[in-house]
Amino acid sequence: MTPNRLAGHILPNEGRINTNGLGTAQPCGPARCSCGATSGVLHSANARRRWHRQHKDEVRAAQTEAVTE
C-alpha cells in the first residue's frame, strides 16, 4: 500500500460528522476532512476512506497544476 498522507488533510473521528445532536457520531452520512471539505452521504467507513483518498488526490492534482502553470 502506498502512503497517501497530505499535510492538512486528515479524517478526524474517522470522518464522521455528529448529525444527531447528542454527541454521538453517526455511522452513515457525510464525511468531513480536516480542511473543511465535506462529502455527500456515505454508508460505511470504507466509503469514507475511499472518498478521502479521492479528495486528497484531487488536492494534489490541483497543487501540481498550479505549480506547472
Domain membership flag for residue 3: no
Q: Kindly state whether residue 56 falls inside one of the protein's structural domains.
A: yes
Structural domain count of the chain: 1
| pLDDT recorded at residue 40 | 92
d(CA 62, CA 2): 20
Instruction: Tell me if 30 is assigned to some domain.
Output: yes
The answer to whether residue 5 is domain-embedded is: no
pLDDT tens string 1-57: 456 778 888 888 777 776 566 666 667 888 899 999 999 999 988 999 999 999 999
Give residue 44's domain range.
Answer: 12-68
Whether residue 4 lies inside any domain: the answer is: no
pLDDT at residue 37, rounded to an integer = 93
In a domain, 6, yes or no: no
